[in-house]
Chains A and B, each alone.
Chain A
Amino acid sequence: MTHDITTLSAAALADALVARDVSSVEATQAHLDRIAAVDGDVHAFLHVNQNAIAAAKAIDSRRAAGDDLGPLAGVPIAVKDVLCTQDMPTTSGSKILEGWVPPYDATPVAKLRRAGLVPLGKTNMDEFAMGSSTEFSAYGPTHNPWDLDRIPGGSGGGSAAAVAAFEAPLALGSDTGGSIRQPGAVTGTVGVKPTYGGVSRYGAIALASSLDQIGPVSRTVLDAALLHDVIGGHDPKDSTSLRQEWPSFAAAARDGLQADSLKGVRIGVVKELAGGDGFQAGVTQRFQETVALLESAGAVVVEIDAPSFAYAISAYYLILPAEASSNLAKFDSVRFGLRVTPDNGATVEDVMAATREAGFGPEVKRRIILGTYALSAGYYDAYYGSAQKVRTLVQRDFTAAFEQVDLLISPSAPTTAFKIGERIDDPLAMYLNDLTTIPANLAGVPGMSIPNGLAPEDSLPTGVQLMAPQREDARLYRVGAALERLLEQQWGAPLISRIPNLDAAQQSAAEEGVI
């Protein structure tokens, strides 16, 4: 019975809560039970909220008292550990912040609490969101619920795996170069990177300020839209947050389910992101099938040339480390976090150096060094300056493309989930996994990943990415919901229903004496 609750979509669970078929305490307990049962294998959570049941009780009381509650009130949610939570430790996956409890909530967290959602805990991630596999977490990797030997994507592998493994119906992620969308693709879940400035970054531990964006992780497009409605909007504490009224994304998703909603929608296939070197055959195959499916539903598909996209990844790996090297300078032991004092005559510089040496993992150090170099006098123009020019060109390519089409489409990631350990020593191979997602971050446009099948060669999920012009996030939800329904009609059931039964896996492992 409890597992039935955990397999509900957030929208369906919200309906059940409104109808009082289930209480928030029951829903929360069911997910806590599920976490207890499977998270030993998945390791999606770094911290489980001890106050979750109390928060759920409070919502149930308010509902009983007839309070006017938001549409997702009482629904549990997992929160990526990059977001500050004043009642739970916030580490951003790093040893340097082990045990740090912020004195404030990040704005998206504060908003979801106000909307009555129940935080279940904090999810695992690559340290400071640097990575595409969650293997760079200082607290051990997260395992893909489709195949525990494989990575769940990154950096938000914890949030995606938690949602895929039914440990939470919803999660928050952060996306700097694909950290919501690529994990979505490899775990068969939905992930959205909103327009830059659509969701406040206040309280999100910065990786690269000009690229970071907080967004929803879910199993359905409508669920992502419902969550986006909760967390979006202007925040005076974030100067880069957009001052505008946003339409209801849930309404847009429901609108997409109207008959013929895809008719006449112009969709551009980005030539540079559609396949070729580095793309797994099964990924390309499923992508082409999805494009054909959209065409059959009345969409007009054209090929789009975006020549600068070829340089996007190079520009990204200069801009990101440059900003990160500065953003991460504050981790120096003086005011918070880890402090390591060397034995011999420690000056403050010695303490800072020893702390950073001990507290940061290899990928973080790699990027700090890269970024420091890229910003150095004499190299600034050649590296950071050139990268910013490429960024402008990428933005122009998007602008030109959106003069021709309503949406762009590409695979969400070039491959399905790879094996844990397979690319850990090959940063370049790891970086290439973000090839398809990075352009949207450079241009600030919104992007969404939707599951579009299993690759024939490995039976692992593949994802398709939709991208819309800035501020047109609603378009993603409208078309995304329509596409999701077309795919499910083909499959006869949501893709996630084909995920292996982790209970069974656990059972057999127990029989083998592994646990």
Chain B
Amino acid sequence: MAKDALMDFDEAIERFEPVLGFEVHVELATATKMFSDAPNFFGGEPNTNVTPVDLGLPGSLPVVNEQAVRYSIQLGLALGCSIAESSRFARKNYFYPDNPKNYQISQFDEPIAFEGEVEVELADGTIFQVPIERAHMEEDAGKLTHVGGATGRIQGAEYSLVDYNRAGVPLVEIVTKPIVGAKERAPELGAAYVQVIRDLVRALGVSEARMERGNLRCDANISLRPWGQEKLGTRTETKNVNSFRAVERAIRYEIQRQAAILAAGGTITQETRHWHEDTGRTSAGRPKSDADDYRYFPEPDLLPVVPDPALIEELRASLPEAPVARRRRLKGEWGFADLEFQDVLNGGLLDEVQATIDAGAGPQAARKWWTGEISRVANAQDAAPGDLVSPQHVAEVIALVESGDLTDRLARQVLEGVIAGEGSPAQVVESRGLKVVSDLTAAVDEALAGQPDVLQKIRDGKVQAAGAIIGSVMKAMKGQADAARVRELVLERAQQQ
């Protein structure tokens, strides 16, 4: 692969205006597929979660999943869209072996949701309004595995295997209008937009929205035009950019690549491009033109979708708070500094911190544990912090520290036990013998109270005076305590008494 010529990013922005557009596919977390009663579960033995409908067997017919329609309406409303009184499915005709009927049932000229707007906040608080053209329902295709080639790609493969477990999984595709005005912040805005969509579908509970699992897939359209020109430039569509960081990098790369071509007097080829995470580059895929002819026509096997207006209003009334508004509210309520709040956001820990505070912990303690110790362990284990420990348990640990039952060091041990699956914090305290701390604390406090003169010496910085207290504590504990720990505790309690 020859290296693309790239223009310096700042120079590119100086010369050209970037215009963005996104197609985000969201897999809906329904129990069954879009048009069949097969379980909506991708994975497991290939071709087991299938019915005649998912295999496109002769004579089989699709039936619309009502839950998918409800989810799509919720999503449409959350995107600020109008919900169509009547929307219709169409057939998108193209031959490909992962497409069991050789047509995909999608929505074409009559989508369920249209004309919306999403508020996107950048790290420094700058707000952008991203215009939404439409959100429509469709079915996913099966998954091809190319066998025998060196690269796992179709080129050079001896044969391909197809798994239809994913065929018919319900999708909503969210399409933006051209996004202008972001200038040098275009890459950042792209990532922030996709994150807003992720947060939104999670808040609605309509999708798992795990980008790494393909629950949320982003295609980024990028074009450049000379400043002042009204006509949009030729766009490329970079497929499957599947992390926020990748969205940002891919946009930046395409801006630099296209700018270099345009500046050299070349023209941009309208095509799909593939993002390569390892090299940080995009490469040409298949040429795409507006003349691609999918021979769309209304799906005659399905009736138009005509949702009850009362249902739409019910779903509208039950919409959760918009992610940007929620962030703004929580930041104020918790009294976090900008950097503190940014830490939480960057870690994707907003939900965890909130749940921990809801479980009784103080905001600063909750923030500290999640962005600190838990994130550190998660990083080391290559896991998501939220998958390691529940907010409830974190709140319990924080409570134990605040009551003096645990020191910070011991609390980390308790947490380690909880993460290792040894049970709740209380159970770990018990099983790891950390429970003595409670008794120990009482003994220390008693000894300190009994020798106020020594206490005063310790407070005055005469640390060696602690020896007398340690001795009486060890005596009281009948030798069943770790002298070092007793010493630590004596010094700690002495300052708190």
Q: Which residue of B lies closest to A349 (CB)?
A: B95
* Bound Cα distance A349, B300 (Å): 27
Residue A334 contacts which of B60, B97, B293 (CB distance < 8 angstroms)?
B97
Q: Closest CB of chain A to B164's CB: distance in Å? A: 8
B57 contacts A103, C-beta separation under 8 Å = yes
Which of B98-106, B228-236, B254-262, B417-425 lies at the interface?
A: B98-106
Contact with A along B78-96 (1 / 0, CB 8 A): 0000000000000101010
Contact assessment for A323 and B59 in the assembled complex, using a CB-CB cutoff below 8 Å: no
Number of interface residues of B (CB under 8 A): 30
The CA of A330 and the CA of B54, in the complex, are separated in Å by 12
Given the interface pairs A201-B61, A330-B101, A334-B97, the reply to whether A323 lies near B300 with Cβ below 8 Å is yes
Q: Give the distance to chain B from A319, nearest Cβ to Cβ, in Å.
A: 9
Determine whether B62 belongs to the interface, using a CB cutoff of 8 Å to chain A: yes
Report whether A92 and B58 are in contact in the complex, using a CB–CB cutoff of 8 Å.
yes
Residues of A97-144 contacting chain B, CB below 8 A = 97, 100, 102-104, 106
Give the CA-CA distance A348 to B160 in the complex, in Å.
9
> Once the chains are docked, how many angstroms separate the CA of A336 from the CA of B97?
12
Report if B361 contacts A (CB, 8 A): no
> Contacts of A206 on B, CB cut-off 8 Å?
58-59, 301
User: How far, in angstroms, from A336 to B416 measured CA to CA in the complex?
Assistant: 54
CB distance from B32 to the nearest CB of A (A): 13
Q: Does B68 reach chain A (CB closer than 8 Å)? A: no
Expressed in whole angstroms, the minimum distance between the Cβ of A317 and any Cβ of chain B is 16
CB atoms of A329 and B59 under 8 A apart: no
How far does the Cβ of B293 sit from chain A's closest Cβ, in whole Å?
Answer: 5
Partner of B102, one of A203, A237, A332: A332
Please tell me if B64 contacts chain A, counting CB pairs below 8 Å: yes
Chain B residue nearest in CB terms to A385: B297
Indicate whether A352 sits within 8 Å of B55 (C-beta atoms), given known contacts A239-B64, A376-B293. Answer: no
Decide if A203 touches B64 in the complex (CB within 8 Å): no
Nearest chain A CB to B302 CB, angstrom units: 5
Within 8 A of A (CB), among B35-62: 52, 55-62
Rounded to whole angstroms, the CA-CA distance of A323 and B91 in the bound complex is 10
The answer on a CB contact under 8 Å between B101 and A329 is yes
Contact B57 A336 (CB under 8 A): yes
Interface of B is mostly: loop
* Contact yes or no, A329 B55, CB < 8 A: no
Whether the Cβ atoms of B301 and A322 lie closer than 8 Å is: no
- Separation of A352 and B293 alpha carbons in the complex (Å): 19
The docked-state distance in angstroms from the alpha carbon of A71 to that of B97 is 46
User: Which residues on the B side are within 8 Å of A334 (C-beta)?
Assistant: 97, 100, 162
- A326 contacts the other chain (Cβ, under 8 Å)? yes
Question: Is the beta-carbon distance between B56 and A104 smaller than 8 angstroms?
Answer: no
Enumerate chain A residues within 8 angstroms of B293, measured Cβ to Cβ: 376-377
Within 8 A of A (CB), among B149-194: 160, 162
CA–CA, A240 and B64, complex, Å: 11
Give the CA-CA distance A377 to B97 in the complex, in Å.
23
Q: Which residues of A contact B91 (CB under 8 A)?
A: 326
B329 at the interface (CB under 8 A from A): no
**Which residues of the partner chain A approach B101 to less than 8 Å between Cβ atoms?**
329-330
Contact A240-B301, Cβ < 8 Å, known A102-B59, A334-B97: yes
Is B59 touching A239 in the complex (CB atoms < 8 A)? no
Q: In the complex, what residues of A have CB within 8 A of residue B62's CB?
A: 239
Task: Give complex CA distance A24, B101 in Å.
Answer: 41
Contacts of B61 in A (CB 8 A): 201-202, 237-239
CB of A84 closer than 8 Å to a CB of B: yes
CB contact under 8 A between A348 and B97, given known A104-B52, A209-B301, A384-B297:
yes
Q: Which residue of A lies closest to B303 (CB)?
A: A239
Give the interface residue-count category, chain A: 35 or more
From A90, which residue of chain B is reached at the shortest CB distance? B58
| Cβ-neighbour of A210 out of B58, B93, B291, B300 (below 8 A) | B300
Docked Cα-Cα span, A384 to B103, in Å, equals 18
B306 within 8 A of A: no
How many contacting A-B pairs (Cβ < 8 A)?
101
A240–B303 contact, CB under 8 A?
Answer: yes
Quick check: is B63 within 8 A (CB to CB) of the other chain? yes
Interface string of A334-357 (1 = CB under 8 A from B): 111000000000001100100000
Interface bits A388-399 vs B (CB < 8 Å: 1, else 0)? 000000000000
A208 neighbours in B (Cβ, 8 Å): 300
Contact B97 A329 (CB under 8 A): no
CA distance A335 to B98 in the complex (A): 10
Q: Which residues of B contact A209 (CB under 8 A)?
A: 300-301
Convert B314-354 into 0s and 1s, putting 1 for each residue whose CB lies closer than 8 angstroms to a CB of A.
00000000000000000000000000000000000000000
Complex: how many Å from CA A424 to CA B93? 31
Q: Which residues of B lie under 8 Å from residue A90 when comparing CB positions? A: 58-59
Task: Please tell me if the beta carbons of B63 and A372 are within 8 angstroms of each other in the complex.
Answer: no
- The distance in angstroms between the C-alpha atoms of A376 and B56, with both chains bound, is 23
Q: How far is the CB of B139 from chain A (nearest CB, A)?
A: 14
- Taken together as a complex, chains A and B put the C-alpha atoms of A372 and B61 apart, in Å, by 21
Chain A residue with Cβ nearest B89:
A239
Residues of chain A contacted by B160 (CB below 8 angstroms): 348
CA distance A106 to B61 in the complex (A): 11
Is A205 part of the contact surface with B, judged by Cβ < 8 Å? Answer: yes
Contact indicator per residue, chain A 448-479, by CB within 8 Å of chain B (1) or not (0): 00000000000000000000000000000000
A269 at the interface (CB under 8 A from B): no
B295: Cβ under 8 A from any A Cβ: yes
In the complex, chain A residues whose CB is within 8 Å of the CB of B64: 239
Give the distance to chain B from A113, nearest Cβ to Cβ, in Å: 16
Chain A residues whose C-beta falls within 8 Å of the C-beta of B95 in the assembled complex: 329, 332, 349, 352
Q: Is B297 within 8 A of A239, CB to CB?
A: no
A92 to B59, CA, bound (A): 10
Q: Interface 1/0s, chain A 228-266, versus B by CB < 8 A? A: 000000001111100000000000000000000000000
Q: Nearest residue in A to B162 (C-beta to C-beta)?
A: A334
In the complex, what residues of B have CB within 8 A of residue A238's CB? 61, 63
| Known contacts A326-B103, A326-B295, A330-B100: A97-B52 contact under CB 8 Å | no
| Across-interface contacts of B302 in A (CB, < 8 A) | 239-240
Are the C-beta atoms of A326 and B59 separated by less than 8 Å? no
- Whole-angstrom distance between the Cβ of A86 and the nearest chain B Cβ: 11
CA distance A330 to B164 in the complex (A): 14
* CB contact under 8 A between A205 and B59, given known A329-B101, A330-B101, A334-B97: yes
Confirm or deny: A375 has a beta carbon within 8 angstroms of a beta carbon on chain B. yes
Q: How would residues 185 to 227 of chain A score, 1 for a CB under 8 Å from any chain B CB and 0 otherwise?
A: 0000000000000000111111011100000000000000000
- Report the separation of the CA atoms of residues A134 and B303 in the bound assembly, to the nearest whole angstrom: 32
Q: With A and B bound together, what is the CA distance between A352 and B58 in angstroms?
A: 17
Chain B residues, CB < 8 A from A205:
58-59
Contact check, A335 vs B58: say whether CB atoms are below 8 A apart.
Answer: no
Give Cα A332 to B162, complex, Å: 14
- Pick the contact of B297 from A103, A322, A331, A336 — CB < 8 Å? A322
Q: Which of B265-311 contact A (CB under 8 A)?
A: 291, 293, 295-297, 300-303
Q: How far is the CA of A349 from the CA of B99 in the complex (A)?
A: 13
Query: Would A380 and B297 count as touching, CB distance under 8 A?
Result: yes
Residues of A within 8 Å of B291, CB to CB, are: 377
In the assembly, what is the distance between CA of A84 and CA of B61, in Å?
13
Q: In the complex, which of the residues B55, B60, B97, B162 contacts A202, with contact meaning CB atoms closer than 8 Å?
A: B60
Select one of B52, B63, B97, B297 contacting A375, CB under 8 A: B297
User: Are B59 and A202 interface neighbours, CB within 8 A?
Assistant: yes
List residues of chain B with CB within 8 A of the CB of A204: 59
Q: In the complex, A176 Cα to B101 Cα: how many Å?
A: 21
**Given known contacts A238-B61, A334-B162, A376-B295, what 8 new A-B pairs fall within 8 Å (CB)?**
A90-B58, A103-B52, A202-B61, A240-B303, A325-B93, A372-B295, A375-B295, A380-B295
B residues sitting closer than 8 Å to A (CB atoms) are 52, 55-64, 91, 93, 95, 97, 100-103, 160, 162, 291, 293, 295-297, 300-303
In the A-B complex, list the 3 residue pairs whose CB atoms are closest, starting with the nearest: A329-B102, A209-B300, A375-B295
Q: List 19 A-B contacts (CB under 8 A).
A: A90-B58, A102-B59, A103-B57, A202-B59, A204-B59, A205-B58, A206-B59, A239-B62, A239-B63, A240-B300, A329-B95, A330-B102, A331-B58, A332-B97, A335-B56, A336-B55, A336-B57, A375-B296, A377-B293
